[in-house]
Chain A
C-alpha cells in the first residue's frame, strides 16, 4: 500500500492549502445560500403593495366617490395636471402605473344597466395594473349585480352595500409547518450550494495530487517496480476516495453547523446521504479531469469550468423551477442535476416510506452511476497512457 500511503502523505503536506480552499468556498457558498434562502422565504409570503394611479373624473356622483374611496385601499393617487404631455410623461417616467378617467354620464348609464367602461391608460405589460384591473372588475361587477337585482336602488344605498361587501375577508391558513418549511428551505439551499464547493475543492485537491502522480518520470519509475499498474491505480483511487471523504466530512460539518436548527430532522439524514453519494461522484469527476490535465493552470481552469458550469445549469445557483426545460434536459446529463433534484425532493418529504423515498433513491443510483462511469473512463485513460 505504498502508493496509498504516499497519497495520504501528499494530502497531509498540502493540508494548509486544501483547508484554505475549503474555508473560502464554504464561506462564499454559505453566504450565497443564505441570501437565496431569504429571497425564497420572502417570495412565499404576501405583502400588499399599492399602485400609483392618476384618477380623473368628469362627474361628481356618490357612486364614483364611493369607488374612489375604495380604490384608495389598493392605489396611491398621484396629482398630475390633466394635460396630454404631462400624462404621457408621468407614464413614461413611471410616476404612475395607470391613468383612470371616469367619462361624463358614466354613472347615469351604469345605473340604467347600460354597458359602460372606464377609460384606462396603463404602462404595457405592467404586473401592478393587474391588481388595479381586478379591483375595478370586482367593484363594478358587484355593483352591477345590485343594479340588476334591486330595482330602484339609489347610489347611496349601492355604495353602502359595496363598502360592506368589499370589506369582507376570508382568513386562509397554511397547512404546512411554517417553521419547518422555512428551516428546510434554508437547509435545501445550503445543501444545493454544497455541490459547488464540493466539486471545486475535490477537483482542485485531486488535480494537484494527480499532477504529482502523473509526472512522466515518476510514473516510469513506479512502473519499474514490482507493483502492477492496476494495483498502483487502485491504491491511487483509494487515496482519492479517502481525500474525498475527508473533504466531504469537513465541509458537511461546516454546512450542518450553519443549519444547526435542522440537524435533527429525518430529512437531514437523507440530505447527508445525498451529499455523500454526490461526493463519490465528484471524486470520479476529479479523477477523470486529473487524468486529462497536465499543469496546475489547467487543473484550476478545469475546476472552475466544471464546478461553475455544472452548478449553473443544474439548479445549484438558480432554483430548477426557474430554469428552462431545454436547459434542464441538458442538465439531466450531469450528476449535479440529480443531486439538486434529490435534495429538493428530500426537503419536501414529510413521510419516509419506501414509496415516498423511491424517487430519491433512484436519483442516488443515477449519481452513483455517473461516479462509476467517470472512474471507469479514468482507469481506461490511465491504462491507455501506461501502454503508450
Chain B
C-alpha cells in the first residue's frame, strides 16, 4: 500500500471541505481524483502532503504516518502543484536543478537527473530561458520537470493541465503514463473527465469533500442504470413518433430538444439498430445519428443530480 487515507475531515470555519474521506492506493496505480472545482481535491492533496492541518483522520504513506517532519517520506514524493511554482529569477535549468537539489545532494547525480528531466519534458531548447518567456504549456512542463526530476516513487499531480493547449496536454498525459510505466505511483487530480478516463487505472469521484464513487472507469459506469445514448439530429419528428419510440423495448427515456432527439437505453441493451429501423420505416429525415456509451459525467449526474462540468 503506497497511500492510505482514513476518515479525513477538514473544516474551514463552518465549511466542511473534506467529509470523512477514505481511500487507499496500491503501488503502480494511477489514481484519479475527479470532481468539480471546489470539491476538495486540492485540500485532500494538501492534507496528504501535510501542508494543511486536518481536523480528523489518518494518513499513511509508504506504510508510515505522514507528518510535516516525515522527511524520509517526503524524499520519495514528487509534487506538481496546481499553480506553477517556479522562480522567475532562475532559468529553466536552474529551476529544475534547485528543486532537484532539495532532494538530491550529490552534484553529479543531480546533474544526470536534471538532464533526464529536461529531456523527458522536452525542454531541451529552453534551458536558458526564464519562466516569463515560456508559453503556458511550456511552463506547465517546467512545473512537472521540477516535480519529478528526483525520480520519486509517488508523484502527485494536482490539475497539471489547467489552461494548457491540446498539444501540450497530450504530451503531459503521455509523460504521466510513461512515468507510471517506469514504476511511479501517481495521484492525479482533475476536473477533466476525458483525461482521468484516459490515464487513470482507478478513479475516485468526489463532491463537497465526500466520496461519490470509486473504481475503474468501467466499474463506475456499471454502477449507474444508464446504458447507450443515441442522438438523432432531425427537425421533422412528430409527437406521435416520439411516443412510438418511447414504447420500443429497452428505451428508458426520449427527449426532443433543439432539433436533437436523445434516446437513452437501459444498461446492457443496444438499440441503435432498432432505432434505425424505426426511422427508416417512418421515413424520418435526419442529419446525423450517433451512439455514445455513458461517460463519467453521466455517472456524476446520476449520483449527484448535477453535471460534473458545472
- Whether A and B are associated in the same complex: the answer reads yes
Report Cα–Cα, A154/B72, bound state, in Å.
112
Contact (Cβ within 8 A) A227 B89: no
Partner of B51, one of A212, A218, A223: A223
Given contacts A2-B98, A9-B90, A13-B89, contact A224 B77 (CB under 8 A): yes
A148 contacts the other chain (CB 8 A): no
Partner of A2, one of B53, B72, B86, B101: B101
Residues of chain B within 8 A of A5, CB atoms compared = 98, 101
Residues of chain A within 8 A of B53, CB atoms compared = 387
Report Cα–Cα, A228/B51, bound state, in Å.
12
Contact (Cβ within 8 A) A227 B102: yes
Given contacts A9-B90, A9-B94, A220-B51, contact A225 B102 (CB under 8 A): yes
Report Cα–Cα, A14/B71, bound state, in Å.
32
Query: What distance in Å separates the Cβ of A215 from its nearest Cβ neighbour in chain B?
Result: 8
Residues of chain B within 8 A of A6, CB atoms compared = 87, 90, 98
Report Cα–Cα, A112/B98, bound state, in Å.
102
B34 contacts the other chain (CB 8 A): no
Contact (Cβ within 8 A) A226 B102: yes
Residues of chain B within 8 A of A212, CB atoms compared = 87-89
Query: What distance in Å separates the Cβ of B111 from its nearest Cβ neighbour in chain A?
Result: 14
Residues of chain A within 8 A of B126, CB atoms compared = none
Contact (Cβ within 8 A) B74 A220: no
A151 contacts the other chain (CB 8 A): no
Residues of chain A within 8 A of B102, CB atoms compared = 2, 222, 225-227
Report Cα–Cα, A217/B99, bound state, in Å.
13
Residues of chain B within 8 A of A220, CB atoms compared = 46, 51, 81, 85
Interface code A200-213, partner B: CB below 8 Å = 1, 0 otherwise? 00000000000010
Contact (Cβ within 8 A) B81 A217: yes
Contact (Cβ within 8 A) A228 B85: no
A164 contacts the other chain (CB 8 A): no
Query: What distance in Å separates the Cβ of B243 from its nearest Cβ neighbour in chain A?
Result: 57
Contact (Cβ within 8 A) B84 A217: yes
Interface residues of A in 1-45 (CB under 8 A from B): 2, 5-6, 9-10, 13-14
B83 contacts the other chain (CB 8 A): yes
Report Cα–Cα, A259/B98, bound state, in Å.
43
Contact (Cβ within 8 A) A228 B71: yes
- What's the tally of chain A residues with a CB closer than 8 Å to chain B? 22
**In the complex, residue of chain B having the shortest beta-carbon distance to the beta carbon of A11:** B89
Contact (Cβ within 8 A) B89 A221: no
Residues of chain B within 8 A of A14, CB atoms compared = 89
Residues of chain B within 8 A of A2, CB atoms compared = 98, 101-102
Contact (Cβ within 8 A) B99 A228: no
Given contacts A2-B102, A13-B89, contact A224 B79 (CB under 8 A): yes
Interface residues of B in 49-100 (CB under 8 A from A): 49, 51, 53, 68-69, 71-72, 74-75, 77, 79, 81, 83-90, 94, 98-99
Contact (Cβ within 8 A) B79 A221: yes
B103 contacts the other chain (CB 8 A): yes
Query: What distance in Å separates the Cβ of A3 from its nearest Cβ neighbour in chain B?
Result: 8
Q: A215-B85, A218-B87, A221-B99 are in contact. List 11 more A-B contacts (CB 8 A).
A: A6-B90, A9-B90, A212-B89, A221-B85, A221-B146, A224-B49, A225-B74, A225-B103, A226-B75, A226-B103, A228-B71
Q: List 28 A-B contacts (CB under 8 A).
A: A2-B102, A5-B98, A5-B101, A6-B87, A6-B98, A9-B89, A10-B87, A10-B89, A13-B89, A13-B90, A14-B89, A212-B87, A217-B81, A217-B84, A217-B85, A220-B81, A221-B79, A221-B81, A221-B85, A221-B99, A223-B68, A224-B51, A225-B103, A226-B74, A226-B75, A226-B103, A227-B102, A228-B71
Interface residues, chain B, with chain A CB atoms under 8 Å away: 46, 49, 51, 53, 68-69, 71-72, 74-75, 77, 79, 81, 83-90, 94, 98-99, 101-103, 146
The 6 tightest CB contacts between A and B, nearest first, are A225-B102, A226-B71, A221-B85, A217-B85, A226-B74, A226-B75
